[in-house]
């Protein structure tokens, strides 16, 4: 169970101050910057969550502290001046000790905004605001699958760090590193909606005219761009933007007939959108003219 170290409770609502996370009580901890503008909407939503679960013994805690956007004096004034702050407990962290303890308990490097601690003192969930009430219902009823949640959260984090690895490979112009990251995306995340979105971005960046890698000189990346685009399109074959990337990858691999057919399909689907995306339509029309003038050729060799 993570430690709770509060320098001062700016408000506790009408309930006793919390000195430690106690077993038998579920907690929601919301980190926020007292210098956030506007602050009132965030505090209103947290107060509403506190009101919703008050009768069931859940303690909702807001935690803030001094940061680049708020000094101690200004931060305290902003919190105490918000009407919603009177409806739940808001603490000023002792330095950043509580923040660090909860981050370490989650195994992350930077903290999300919301943490849910179950009645056994376990970290049941963490992430961005939204859906917390449904999570609490599962935690309180004993139906929350802690291990599955942990696996899902770890998988989401792995995908985020893999995205960072792609960015670093691009900055270093390291084709081997880019290849390794792309293979991991395909092998580990091609079945996930978020993973397919990352594969789409990966293929789009490789095949962009402003791309950092010369696909003519890197056969492995060229092939990988096509595999990534195909996996991304499988998520939504009717999306003209996904088809646009697939067409570019097909063309890069000298599969010009396929690129023409894919571009035509993208144009048809984009033409049916309301409102029309003029830039997309123009780009697809240009691609189609380009591919019409390009005969099918063997793929270039490195």
65: CB partners within 8 A, 6+ apart: 34, 75, 92, 93, 95, 96, 99
**104: pLDDT strictly greater than 90:** no
**268: pLDDT strictly greater than 60:** yes
> How far is the first Cα of the chain from the last one, in angstroms, to the nearest whole number?
55
Instruction: For residue 184, give both structure tokens.
Output: 């991991």
Distance CA 165, CA 171 (A): 10
Is the whole-model pTM more than 0.85? Answer: no
Distance CA 111, CA 127 (A): 8
Residue with tokens 């999570």: 135
Residue scoring higher pLDDT (67 or 255) = 255
User: Could you tell me where the DSSP H helices lie in 54-145?
Assistant: 72-80, 97-106, 132-141
Distance CA 37, CA 255 (A): 52
Distance CA 159, CA 179 (A): 16
What domains lie within the chain, and their CATH numbers?
6-144 (3.40.30.10), 152-292 (1.25.40.10)
**267: pLDDT strictly greater than 80:** yes
Q: What is the pLDDT of residues 248-263, one digit of tens each?
A: 999 999 999 999 999 9
Q: What is the pLDDT of residues 105-121, one digit of tens each?
A: 766 655 568 889 999 88
């Amino acid at each position: 169970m993570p430690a709770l170290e509060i320098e001062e409770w700016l408000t506790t609502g009408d309930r006793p101050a919390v000195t430690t996370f106690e077993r038998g009580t579920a907690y929601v901890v919301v980190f926020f910057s007292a210098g956030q503008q506007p602050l009132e909407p965030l505090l209103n939503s947290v107060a509403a969550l506190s009101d919703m679960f008050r009768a069931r013994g859940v303690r909702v805690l807001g935690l803030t502290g001094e940061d680049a956007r708020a000094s101690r004096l200004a931060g305290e004034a902003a919190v105490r001046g918000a009407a919603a702050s009177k409806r739940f407990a808001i603490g000023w962290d002792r330095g950043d000790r509580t923040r660090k303890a909860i981050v370490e308990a989650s195994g992350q490097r930077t903290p999300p905004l919301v943490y849910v601690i179950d009645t056994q003192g376990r970290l049941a969930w963490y992430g961005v605001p939204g859906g917390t009430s449904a999570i609490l219902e599962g935690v309180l009823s004993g139906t929350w699958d802690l291990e599955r949640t942990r696996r899902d959260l770890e998988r989401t984090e792995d995908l985020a760090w893999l995205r960072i690895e792609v960015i670093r490979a691009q900055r270093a112009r390291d084709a081997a590193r880019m290849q390794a990251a792309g293979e991991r995306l395909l092998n580990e995340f091609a079945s996930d909606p978020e993973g397919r979105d990352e594969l789409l971005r990966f293929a789009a960046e490789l095949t962009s005219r402003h791309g950092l890698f010369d696909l003519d000189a890197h056969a492995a990346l060229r092939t990988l761009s096509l595999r990534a685009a195909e996996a991304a399109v499988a998520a939504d074959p009717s999306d003209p933007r996904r088809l646009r990337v697939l067409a570019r990858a097909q063309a890069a691999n000298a599969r010009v007939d396929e690129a023409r057919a894919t571009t035509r399909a993208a144009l048809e689907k984009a033409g049916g959108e309301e409102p029309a995306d003029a830039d997309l339509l123009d780009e697809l029309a240009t691609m189609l003219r380009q591919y019409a003038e390009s005969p099918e050729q063997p793929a270039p060799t490195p």
